[in-house]
Amino acid sequence: MKYKCCNLIQHGLCFFEKDLVSCCFSPNDQVNGGHPPVIISPYKGESLSKEELFQKINDYVAIFKKGGCPKECLNCYHLEEKEWDETPFINSVTITHFSNCNANCIYCSNNLEQSERTNDTYEILPVLRSLKEQGIIKQGVELHIGGGEFTIYKECNQLLEEFALSGFAKVYIPTNAIKFSQELNSAIKNGAACIIVSLDSGSKKTYKKIKRVDAFDIVVKNLKIYASNGINQGEIALKYIVIPTINDNFGEFKKFLNTASEIGVKNIIIDLDAKYARELKHKVDSTLICLVQKFEKYSHKQGFSTETYSFFSQCLNTSDVKKNILFQLYDLLKYRYFNQTANNIYRNSVKMQKKC
Ligand code: SF4
Ligand code: SF4
């Protein structure tokens, strides 16, 4: 039977600090300040049986099967119509229940001015081990890391050993690379982990302004080690988040590309500071969009591959499409770094752009 639904509501788990939910992409959560699809709340790392886990999931699925849509999923771009596998299993786990970090980026949604960060949270390993033993998660599951800086999270090494290095899961990790992790290095080498590092600069001075720690040199050093192991260039991407008045200039971007070459990374992601875009209600100046296009063209000339995310939403004409694209881009910004959807959005968005 074909019906409109989403893989994450059927087969996704997202561990927040206080709740267990289906995903972290819900427009109801991200835009309206409501809740994502909740599976268990409050949740503090209790063990989960297949029955209790899928009771709520099945309630959501039943709504979709009747042609409806829970309010938590309204307007979400993840929805698609197809035949769904209703077997109770989980193929995507997101861990975002910790927030501690050894940087303090000015664009971070957890930054110190707004919230207290913590690593003092429940243990996720026993929960994942139990899901594995019950056959709820199987080999090939995607493990997406969110929250704070994973390399300083208390269960990082054990998680990488048991889930990435064992070949059980593919792990997608945003890291600032300030702390070198031998386990992460091995996981990259084995093709079991992909990392994305927002360097946002090509100089110590600009790096420090953005990340608010003096760590440019050590990050470059660590990235060189990670990159030297890369069995395939897709395992590592460097990101340049354009932050108006700080790094929105061609000179800094050129230095960034030089640094990427020095490190040995060929994948570049260019994005716009989401906090800035939200403050302006996404009415970003077209000169900024043109600048990013120039960055992209220049990167291609230098032999880099690029992905370009959120700023394209500014060029769209209709508010509905714009809103929808915004959700997609927010998703990509946070968690889908290696998803080809980014390229599709880019291609579709380009068609709608005004000429610079
Ligand atoms: S909010 Fe979107 S991604 Fe999350 S479960 Fe619903 S449809 Fe899927
Ligand atoms: S490295 Fe990531 S988690 Fe840490 S402050 Fe920067 S954006 Fe936030």
Position 312 in a domain: yes
Does 122 or 328 have the greater pLDDT score? 122
Is any atom of ligand 2 closer than 6 Å to the C-beta of 101?
A: yes
Give me the residues paired with residue 3 across strands. 82
Q: Is residue 51 one of the residues assigned to a domain?
A: no
Expressed as residue numbers, the domain containing 172 is 89-351
Ligand 2 near 201 CB (within 6 A): no
User: What is the secondary structure of 69-138 as a DSSP string?
Assistant: --GGGTT-TT-EEEE---SS-EEEEEE------S---TT-TT-TTT----S-S--SHHHHHHHHHTTSEE
Q: Is residue 315 part of a domain?
A: yes
109 Cα nearest atom in ligand 2? 8
CA 331 – ligand 1 centroid, Å: 11
- 246: buried, middle or exposed (CB in 10 Å: 19+, 13-18, 0-12)? middle
Ligand 2 mean position, distance from CA 49 (Å): 34
Dihedral over Cα of 133, 135, 136, 137: its sign:
positive
Residue 333 has pLDDT above 90, yes or no: no
193 lines ligand 2 (CB under 6 A): no
Residue 305 lies in a domain: yes
Please tell me the predicted confidence (pLDDT) of residue 175. Answer: 97
Closest alpha carbon to 268 in 337, 351, 213, 349: 337
Instruction: Please give the pLDDT value at position 349.
Output: 38
Whether residue 254 lies inside any domain: the answer is yes
Q: Is residue 314 part of a domain?
A: yes
Checking if the pLDDT of 187 tops 80, the result is yes
- Structural domains counted in the chain: 1
In ligand 2, which atom is closest to the CA atom of 104? 5
What is the spatial distance between Cα 326 and Cα 2, in angstroms, rounded to a whole number?
27
Residue 108 lies in a domain: yes
Give the pLDDT of residue 43. Answer: 96
Pocket of ligand 1, candidates 79, 90, 323, 330: which has the most ligand atoms within 8 Å of its Cβ, to mutate? 79
Residue 113: per-residue pLDDT: 58
Contact between 143 and 170 under an 8 Å Cβ cutoff? The reply is yes
pLDDT by residue (tens digit) across 3-59?
999 999 999 999 999 999 999 888 777 666 678 999 999 999 999 999 999 999 999
The partner residues of 269 in beta bridges, in order of sequence, read 239, 307
Alpha helices in the chain (DSSP H): 7-11, 27-30, 50-65, 125-133, 156-159, 182-189, 204-211, 216-229, 250-263, 274-279, 286-301, 319-334, 341-351
CA 51 to chain centre: 29
Calculate how far, in angstroms, residue 144's C-alpha sits from the geometric centre of ligand 1: 15
Determine, yes or no, domain membership for 206. Answer: yes
Tokens of 331: 């998703």
251 versus 313: the higher-pLDDT residue is 251
Ligand 1 pocket: which residues have CB below 6 Å?
Answer: 6, 8-9, 22-23, 25-26, 37, 72-73, 76, 78-79
- Over residues 207-217, the mean pLDDT reads 97
Taking a C-beta distance cutoff of 8 angstroms, is the pair 246, 210 a contact? yes
pLDDT for the residue 16: 94
Query: Which pLDDT score is estimated for 352?
Result: 32
pLDDT of residue 340 exceeding 50: no
Ligand 1 atom closest to Cα of residue 76 = 2
Cα dihedral 144, 150, 156, 161 sign: positive
pLDDT, tens only, 54-86? 999 999 999 999 999 999 999 888 899 999 999
Residue nearest to atom 6 of ligand 2 (CA): 105
Q: DSSP letter at 355? A: P
Average of pLDDT values for 343-347? 37
Query: Model confidence at 336, in pLDDT bands (50, 70, 90)?
Result: very low
Report d(CA 253, CA 317) in Å as an integer.
29
User: Is residue 339 classed as helix, strand or coil in its secondary structure?
Assistant: coil
Q: How many CB atoms lie within 10 A of CB 287?
A: 10
Count CB-CB contacts under 10 A for residue 214: 11
293 vs 337, more confident: 293
Residue with the bigger pLDDT between 115 and 146: it is 146
Contact, 117 vs 148, CB < 8 A?
Answer: yes
Domain at 218, CATH number: 3.20.20.70
